[in-house]
A and B are shown apart, each in its own frame.
Chain A
Amino acid sequence: MNRLVFAVLLAGGAIASFHARAQSADPNLGRNLGAACANCHGTGGHATTGMPALAGLPKEYIAKQMRDFRSGARSATIMHQISKGYTDGQIEAMAAYFAAQKK
């Protein structure tokens, strides 16, 4: 096997397993990721005005919107760009966090 390709595969595997480990080990992963959404969507997903609130929405609904923004299935002014900054695992963790917040 080409050494470079092997190195890339290895690195990819390492990142994937690192992500998986971080997710299972860190109880605050969803909270920390979701905090970057709060600027527009409110602290804990409680938007004040003019933006969709995320608190208490079903986890699968939030995750699907993010995936649809990413794929272009749902159009947007800005979320089609922001959604591309997150892995599937990160989207799941954020969605679980917002779903667990009281409406």
Chain B
Amino acid sequence: MTSRRDFLKAGGAAAVSAALAGCAAVPEMKKPIGRVIVIGGGYGGATCAKYLRIWSGGTIEVFLVERDPTFVSCPTSNLVLGGSRTMADITRSRDKLREYGVHIIRDDVRGIDAQKKRVRLTRVEDLPYDRLVLSPGIDFFFEAIPGLNNAEAQKRILHAWKAGPQTLALRAQLESMRDGGVYILNVPNAPYRCPPGPYERVCQVASYFTKSKPKSKILLLDANPDIVSKAGLFRAAWNQLYKGMIEYRPNSEVKDVDVRGMAAKTDFDSFKGDVLNICPPPRAGDIARPFITANNRWCGVDWLTMESTVAKGVHILGDATLSAPAMPKSGHMANNHGKIAAAAIIELMNGRAPNPQPVIANTCYSFVSDKQVIHVTSVHHYDPAQKTLVPIKPSVGVSAQRSELEGAYGWAWAQNIWADMLA
């Protein structure tokens, strides 16, 4: 149901433009040279919307379509599971984007007509665009885990791989678990969102169990042959901080679940648990489906512009992209994708060639306890010969060891990247 206030907030295109004329926060409106619609206000989309406005000097009209009222960060959301942070700590408003002249429309996208260059919305009239930016995040192949392929099962067995209500619900399941219970988490085959994420989650749950239910166990069923990211550092943390609590099983892809019996099944084994936390195989978010080019899952892009390889004028950011070599699906990368796209779109809309040599960087901090952190980092340059972004070898590295100093940097990273995209 749409309240009158919601409707006014969402506005029609005309209503929004009219309202804007009287908005003091917007720098003097020049006649726009075109309109960009950004779908998805997460790490990629919000960044792109803000940078489009700043770097175009207000000459490009930017609409941000987003269904959720606030931004909830996936990075650092494992700390809510561990209990050292609250949802409020990882939630931010998008309202400040309006001060840059971004028109925020809270609505669900029904579809994209890339031929007619229109976005079909649910509550307000369709919006035409000159260029579209899609930052859709991920959705899942629930059908790959048959027992999980229905709404009832999905209420009982959570993925919590999108921060928000599932984060809180999983925390509640962990809180109500008996001491001596078993928590089972899986890792899908790479590539998936946030390579170190599952291993950090194990640390956070172990940190909570150590304090509150020390007889409990954790079973990590990994589809991959080894820990995908920061392997040595995670192993050291597990052995030194949570000795005997975590069982790690590589080459153990979860293929099904028994919801009634609360069991996770691999090809050969069945594992009973008290809390099952299952992330089905991920793919580009539903709204990006028409632009999926690889393996039924990911959207190929031109890394100079982030433009889809199959749809002119549609730029795709973040986890939904077919990743460049050694490029993680991370919020940090999505933020950098947003900046490549913003710079390129401004050049293209002004009839100029985009930057021929984008350079971006990644940093992922993982909390192995409530205070100690490890990182992985890399710088990626565009290689004209390979036509993709490639990591610069000497820049690729991890922490020498876990530390509280990096714990402070890790939390500061979050504050600064949230400000970079939203404030």
Contact = CB atoms under 8 A, between A and B. Distances in A.
25 contacts: A32-B355, A32-B358, A35-B343, A36-B336, A38-B339, A39-B416, A40-B412, A40-B413, A40-B416, A42-B416, A43-B419, A48-B419, A50-B415, A51-B413, A51-B416, A78-B375, A78-B399, A78-B406, A81-B395, A81-B396, A83-B395, A84-B379, A85-B378, A85-B380, A86-B359
Given A39-B335, A39-B336, A85 B419 contact: no
Contacts of A86: 359, 379
Q: Taking each of B54, B377, B380, which has the highest tally of chain A beta carbons within 10 Å of its own beta carbon?
A: B377
Interface string A51-92: 100000000000000000000000001101111111000100
Interface string B19-35: 00000000000000000
B355 A48 contact: no
A30 B248 CA distance: 45
A62 B405 CA distance: 22
B199 interface: no
A10 B159 CA distance: 52
A7 to B, nearest CB: 13
Contacts of B351: none
B412 A49 contact: yes
B127 interface: no
A78 B415 contact: no
Considering the complex of A and B, which 3 residue pairs feature the smallest CB-CB distances, nearest first? A85-B379, A50-B412, A85-B395
B409 A39 contact: no
Interface string A19-36: 100100010110111011
Contacts of B380: 85
A80 to B, nearest CB: 8
Contacts of A37: 361
B413 to A, nearest CB: 5
B360 interface: yes
Given A50-B411, A86-B379, A36 B420 contact: no
Contact of A47 (B335, B375, B381, B416): B416
Nearest to B378: A85
Interface residues of B, number: 43
A36 B377 contact: no
A51 B409 contact: yes
A82 B394 contact: no
A36 B419 contact: no
Nearest to A25: B356
Interface in B366-392: 375, 377-381, 392
A49 B416 contact: yes
B332 interface: yes
B363 interface: yes
Contacts of A51: 409, 412-413, 416
A32 B55 CA distance: 10
A38 B208 CA distance: 33
B394 A84 contact: yes
Contacts of A78: 363, 375, 377, 397, 399, 406, 409
Q: Taking each of B355, B356, B396, B420, which has the highest tally of chain A beta carbons within 10 Å of its own beta carbon?
A: B420
A90 B397 contact: no
A26 B346 CA distance: 14
B309 interface: no
Contacts of B363: 39-40, 78, 82
B356 A22 contact: yes
